[in-house]
Amino acid sequence: MCGIVGYLGRKEAFSILIEALKKLEYRGYDSAGVAIWNRGKIEIIRQKGKVDDLKKLASNKDIKGTMGIAHTRWATHGIPSERNAHPHRAGEVVVVHNGIIENYVELKQRLRNEGRRFSSDTDTEVIPHLINSYVEKGHNFVDAVRLAICELKGSYALGIIKEKERVMIAAKKESPLIIGVVDGESIIASDIPAILDITNKVIFLEDNDIAIFNEEGFRIIDTMGNAVERKIHTINWTSAMAQKGGYKHFMLKEIFEQPVAITNTLTGRVKEDKGEIELDNLKLPNLEKIKKIWMVACGTSYHACLIGKYIFESNLRIPVEVDIASEFRYRDPIIGKDNMLILVSQSGETADTIAAMKEGKKRDSFVLSICNVLGSTLARDADGVVFTHAGPEIGVASTKAFTTQITVLFMLMLFMAKKMGIFTTGQLKEKIGELRRIPHKIQEVLNNAKHIEEIARKYMTYKDFLYIGRGINYPSVMEGALKLKEISYIHAEAYAAGEMKHGPIALIDENFPVVVLSPYDITYQKTCSNIEEVLARRGKVLLFTDTSGHEMVERVESVFVMPKTIYELEPIISAIPLQLLAYYIANLLGTDVDQPRNLAKSVTVE
Ligand code: M6R
């Protein structure tokens, strides 16, 4: 997804902007560009490809200037190309944009009728033209921006500069944009890692905010021109935390960070001695009146919701309906004030999940979000929020976000169960105790990562994989298969193990490895029968079981043994070897693990 940065200060802007853009590479992009202001003139360089290619291109030019804006583009309107890359210019005005302008066709037509000429296929290009049209009518720069954005429908995070004036403007609606607060310098960015080398003091701009930067500092106004105040937050992530920290890829680093990520998510919240959970002063509605819980999300976060359904229904006995966010509102969901809507998202900026939140609010449901990013839209606009303290997740493939989401869902279930008087204090203590042991159990799996690398080496050349599991292990294999396909580009399909004989079994032969997830739980014996069915057809089985699951160990081709835990927490443990299997296969195949082709970290378009 697009990333924008902007700088105004005393230092050379180009290198600052390039470094900041590199920290946004995790968002996924296909082209990059930068505009530098120097003594009233603006020079733009942009091209298809990576930020390093842009740097190379610029090395032949003498780009000097202490103010500029820059962009990484993920194509939505118009193919990835130099002409569609940002920044876009019209007259004196130069713009970078993240988001989508929904009414760009009619605006473009109107601006064309005024004789303005367009040079790209993007929706964005209407923005500099619109601002420039107001400048030409005699409005000052700030008013021109304000009047122009009042005409935009859709989403935008904008960085804007203009020739002749040493002023930078930022504006935001439904796309993330932050200000790094530093003395004597101004920096804007789409996300925190881009500014952490410069400052850890951050303002999260809100919808319809316009920030104006000059030599003296900055001020924020709304679209009517009224001054607005925004709080400064201190971010505890260090710049090093957002870097690879010695690992070959962010994804591997993030897999290995899971014991710490889960410990951080539990810290200050689980009171084992009292059998209590405290969740950041979360105020829930009267649970007696909640007839149904909805869990809605996309991708990996959707898989966390499917696991959440097992955790909630088996303990709270409240029906849980899980939906994919991009489907939810199109089926006119039966949701109202006696329902609770739980939205799960790492970024808190996924457009479909935000749209689902709006739908739930419109229908008077209590909306709770589970997010990893402080200040994100879902965190700000929900009625309640519980953060997963996973730290920045840079790899496009979600790993530690997933396991911390399950951790929060489990804590939330305990929190609600306590309110509903479902468990005795002894039962609560027991469940909390097991939750606290999870980071150690994950560490045990990580200590055996080499074994999974060996398994990966054995199977890396296969073109298709089937993943099967039963009960709570079924969403876990859906997640395992998603991991493999998104980073290795190998076809992987997940099935409920019992469904295999209703169709997919026809595919089984010696060229079709089957990953079976079967800890020794209520589903174990039945899954053993499915393993037999695969073996009878000369299929290769990679079995992931736990220390009690002995039955099939000698019969299958490859086995990985996980530590034992309670049923509801099995998905946290089993996520780790499945993430590692996908990682090692992709790494051995040499794919771009952290930025897989065609994918974006944060999907901010519907
Ligand atoms: O930021 P979110 O959790 O809302 O993102 C949802 C999905 O886009 C995300 O989980 C995606 O499926 C990941 N690439 C999977 O690894």
Cα-to-centroid distance, 594 and ligand 1 (Å): 13
pLDDT (tens digit, 9 = 90+) per residue, 268-283? 899 888 999 999 789 9
**604 part of a folded domain:** no
Of the residues 195, 222, 243, the one at which a domain ends: 243
Q: Is 404 in the pocket of ligand 1 (CB under 6 A)?
A: no
Residue 601 lies in a domain: no
Compute the residue count for the chain: 606
Residue finishing a domain among 208, 224, 243? 243
- In this predicted model, what pLDDT tens digit does every residue of 329-364 receive, in sequence order? 888 999 999 999 999 999 999 999 999 999 999 999
Is 313 a domain residue? yes
Distance 580 CA to ligand 1 centre (A): 18
The residues facing 596 across adjacent strands are none
457 and 435 share one domain: no
Domain count for the chain: 3
Which amino acid appears at position 6 of this protein? G
Helices 299-316 & 473-488, crossing angle to 10 degrees?
Answer: 170
Instruction: Compute the distance between CA of residue 416 and CA of residue 434 in angstroms, rounded to an integer.
Output: 18
- For 367-410, the DSSP string reads EEEEESSTT-HHHHHSSEEEE-------SSS-SHHHHHHHHHHH
144 and 103 in a common domain: yes
**Residues of the domain holding 287:** 252-441
Catalytic residue among 309, 483, 540, 601: 601
List, in sequence order, every residue forming a beta bridge with 271; answer none if it has no partner: 276
Residue 598 lies in a domain: no
Predicted model pTM: 0.79
Give tens-digit pLDDT for 412-454. 999 999 999 999 999 999 999 999 999 999 999 999 999 999 9
φ and ψ of 210, to 5 deg: -130, 120
Q: How far apart are CA 220 and CA 10, in angstroms?
A: 22
Instruction: Note whether residue 363 is domain-resident.
Output: yes
In this prediction, residue 235 carries a pLDDT of: 86
Probe residue for ligand 1, chosen from 487, 603, 604 as the CB with the greatest number of ligand atoms within 8 Å: 603
CB of 396 sitting under 6 A from ligand 1: yes
For ligand 1, is residue 339 a contact (CB within 6 Å)? no
Is the C-beta atom of 595 inside 6 A of ligand 1?
no
Residue 377 shares a structural domain with residue 467 = no
604 CB under 6 A from ligand 1?
no
Domain end point (choices 215, 243, 271): 243
Question: Could you tell me if residue 98 is inside a domain?
Answer: yes
Residue 180's pLDDT is 96
Please state, in angstroms and rounded to a whole number, the distance separating the CA atoms of residues 350 and 377.
Answer: 9
Query: In this structure, are 452 and 410 located in the same domain?
Result: no
Dist CA 76 CA 200 (whole Å):
32
Considering the domain architecture, whether residues 279 and 162 belong to the same structural domain is answered as: no
- Kindly state the tokens that stand for 104: 């760009």
Same-domain status, 342 and 403: yes
Cis peptide before 87 (omega within 30 of 0): yes
**CATH label of the domain that carries residue 568:** 3.40.50.10490
**262 domain residue, yes or no:** yes
User: Does residue 238 sit in the same domain as residue 259?
Assistant: no
The answer to whether residues 323 and 413 belong to one domain is yes
Q: How many angstroms does the Cα of residue 11 sit away from the middle of ligand 1?
A: 36
| Contact in structure between 188 and 170 (CB atoms under 8 Å) | yes
pLDDT of 239 reads 67
CB 131 within 8 A of CB 91: no
Q: Is the pLDDT of residue 89 over 90?
A: yes
Calculate how far, in angstroms, residue 348's C-alpha sits from the geometric centre of ligand 1: 10
Residue 601 bears catalytic tag: yes
Whether residue 472 sits in one domain with residue 331 = no
Contact 170, 160 (CB under 8 A): yes
Query: CB-based burial of residue 378 (10 Å sphere; 0-12 exposed, 13-18 middle, 19+ buried)?
Result: buried
Decide if 25 contacts 51 (C-beta within 8 A): yes
The CATH number given to whatever domain includes residue 89 is 3.60.20.10
Q: Establish if 97 belongs to a structural domain.
A: yes
Shared domain for 89 and 212, answered yes or no, is yes
Q: Atom 14, ligand 1: which residue's CA is nearest?
A: 397
Looking up tokens 């195949």, which residue turns up? 589
475 lies in the same domain as 433: no
Q: Are residues 229 and 290 in the same domain?
A: no
In the predicted structure, residue 243 carries a pLDDT above the cut 70: no
